[in-house]
Structure 1
Amino acid sequence: MHVKLYSSLLVVFLTGAVWTQSIRTMDDEDPYDWSYYNFECPQECFCPPSFPNALYCDNKELKEIPPIPPRIRYLYLQNNLIETVTEKAFVNATQLKWINLNKNKITSSGIEKGVFSNLKSLLYLFLEDNELSEVPAPLPTSLEQLRLARNKITTVPEGVFSNMENLTMLDLHQNKLMDSTFSSTTFQGLNSLMQLNIAQNSLTQMPPILPANVMQLFLDNNSIEAIPENYFDTMIKLIFLRLNNNKLTDEGLPTKVFNISSLLDLQLSYNALTRIPAISVHLEHLHLDNNKINSVNGTQICPIPIPGDYVYERNLPRLRYLRLDGNEIKPPIPFDLMLCFRLLQAVVI
């Protein structure tokens, strides 16, 4: 009786061991095991075992995009010779969040229509340093960042941004954009846009009707001569404004155009100004180097009447940094300037 019992227990134990081994073999196929994914990693690319959702195909002299496995979220294809972007490569890549296609040879005609809009989870699209002549369209409404710097873009298709309510950053700097590129509806729909970069283009005017939520606006290295009155009235969140290397003159600046309560950093270097424009009491950094300013009158430029001896710091103008070098101003720093801007930490003349 005892012998039979032990034999039965032994059989159960051995059977259990075999069953457990079988389960463990199946469990070994977990999504973070390198050997499990090795067979579906494109031969031209690298699939890091510590980052199974990423696919590195950069710097491989690729001329076309290989088929992207369905598990991939982050795709690196920069520094190749890719000329076309076709839907075939992305048929299974429905979960892509990040695509880096910088520094290739992609043309606008080489992008198959709808290839990006089909990627419903895409958040970041980088297409810098290519051969694009227009902003690709249509784009996925999920997109949060679109980087198109250093292309040959002259055209922004009508309505391309109309449904892109999630886009927070749009970079179009160093292209061939002109005043005629933009209409009053070009940026309509970009309700979440916080950073807009249109520097190093061929603008002679400020672009029309920018999104109200923009916090950082870059317009350096254009040929802008004037800013319309009340231009910034609707941009109630603007913090950082850069207009360096343009053709702004005193006549082109309405009296209170920069009296923007949200603005903290204003850059107007390398223009043709002969006097310091009126600023807000809240401004903290002002760059006016390399203009044609020959004198500074602290009483005139002070955004409030010159404060008396006893005044709370919170009521003083907030300017902390003032750059005036490269003008025709000679030291010393005027005393009334220091009386007004008592929080100044640096003045460069």
Structure 2
Amino acid sequence: MRMLMRLVLGLFVLKAVVASPRFSRQADLDSYDGANYDVDLDNLNLENPDIYDYEDGLTIDDPLIEIGTLAPPDYNYPVPEASLEEQTEEEEEEELPLTPQLIPQGSGGSGVLMGPDTQKGMPTCLLCTCLGGSVYCDDLKLDSVPPLPKDTTHFYARYNRITKINKSDFASMNKLKKIDLTSNEITSIDDTAFMGLPNLEELVIRENHISQLPALPETMTLIDASHNDIGTKGLHREAFKDMTGLLYLYITDNHIDYVPVPLPDSLRSLHLQRNNIQMMHGDTFCNLKDFNYIRNALEDIRLDGNPINLSRTPQAYVCLPRIPIGDLI
């Protein structure tokens, strides 16, 4: 009887061992290579917590530990304070308005840094382009000559809306050599506007509406007043006589009816085409009292587009290296 009980107890222990999870898992691992080891959750008994103890001692009654990724906390990093020097600079920028510094007397009044203020409220050399002694104010819709730096030598204000040249526009500009006012809307020029310029050599006032050529200093080498409204009374008498260095004289597309004599011997090029010149005197270019006189410099004379017949006054060209261009019939 006792042997029978031991046998039954042994069978019960063996059955319990075989039915245990560890044995089953090991048996499955030994029997199936690469099988799917899913847990049967439907038959899982969670009512008795004592049955499901793990080796680490954690039971189902122990609090659950949730594992996840936490968002980083929001940090307000402190902004570094500006240095005392930077704070001072910022305060000065906020409090003090930007004003140009004064420089010595310039044209037409008191000058400021890089040239006096223009009607646009900006210094001339911020509005225009200044390179050395040259000031370029082309195509800026100017309606008057802006005050210029005192050391300006070349001034360009082409393609603007300037209507008048005043005698104060170029006052005290002792270094100014060239003025180019091509294609503006100039109708009048003060007769003394350029007389106070001791170094002026070139004046270009073409493509305007000028009816009177102003007086010019004797230092001129180039004058271009083409495409204007200059008529018979628009030139001073003997206007170019004393310009001993004059090389180029262009008065094309105007309304003059005579060659503006006397012309200096230095003259190389004379353009008078498309005017109203109808006649010429024998001594216009030559000296009829001195037949040995040769005018070698004057090689370029344009009279085409005038109602004059050049063949009627052949004695007027005997001293010239070339016959003028124009109508010979």
TM-score norm. by structure 1 comes to 0.53
Matched residue, 2:41: none
**Higher-Rg member (1/2):** 2
Deviations 1:150-192 (A, max 9, x none): 22001345xx32x522x2211001100011xx43222123222
Deviations 1:104-148 (A, max 9, x none): xxxxxxxx8649x9xxxxxxx9xxxxxx97595254998411111
- Aligned pair partner of 1:148 in 134, 137, 157: 137
- The residue correspondences of 1:9-158 to structure 2 (distance < 5 A) are 114=100, 136-137=122-123, 139=125, 143-157=132-146
- Cα distance in 2 between the residues matched to 1:309 and 1:348: 24
Corresponding residue SS for 1:332: helix
- Aligned pair partner of 2:273 in 267, 289, 293: 289
Q: Could you tell me how far 1:325 is from its partner in structure 2?
A: 0.6
Equivalent residues of 2:273, 2:302 under 8 A apart: yes
- Aligned pair partner of 1:176 in 161, 177, 186: 161
The aligned amino acid for 1:194 is K
Matched residue, 2:200: 214
- Relative distance call for 1:240 and 1:134 in structure 2 (3 A) is farther
Q: Could you tell me how far 1:318 is from its partner in structure 2?
A: 3.4
Residue 344 (1) aligns with residue 322 (2): yes
TM-score norm. by structure 2 comes to 0.56
Corresponding residue SS for 1:327: coil
The aligned amino acid for 1:169 is H
The aligned amino acid for 2:307 is E
Matched residue, 2:10: none
Q: Could you tell me how far 1:330 is from its partner in structure 2?
A: 2.9
Q: Could you tell me how far 1:307 is from its partner in structure 2?
A: 4.9
- Relative distance call for 1:310 and 1:326 in structure 2 (3 A) is closer
Equivalent residues of 1:143, 1:164 under 8 A apart: no
Corresponding residue SS for 1:342: coil
- Relative distance call for 1:323 and 1:149 in structure 2 (3 A) is same
Residue identity (%): 18
Q: Which moved more, 1:238-247 or 1:329-338?
A: 329-338
Deviations 1:231-273 (A, max 9, x none): 12xx232101000001111122122112222211100000011
* Superposed structure 1 runs of 4+ greater than 6 Å apart: none
Residue-pair matches, total: 210
Corresponding residue SS for 1:251: helix
Corresponding residue SS for 1:298: coil
Q: Could you tell me how far 1:344 is from its partner in structure 2?
A: 3.2
Residue 321 (1) aligns with residue 305 (2): no
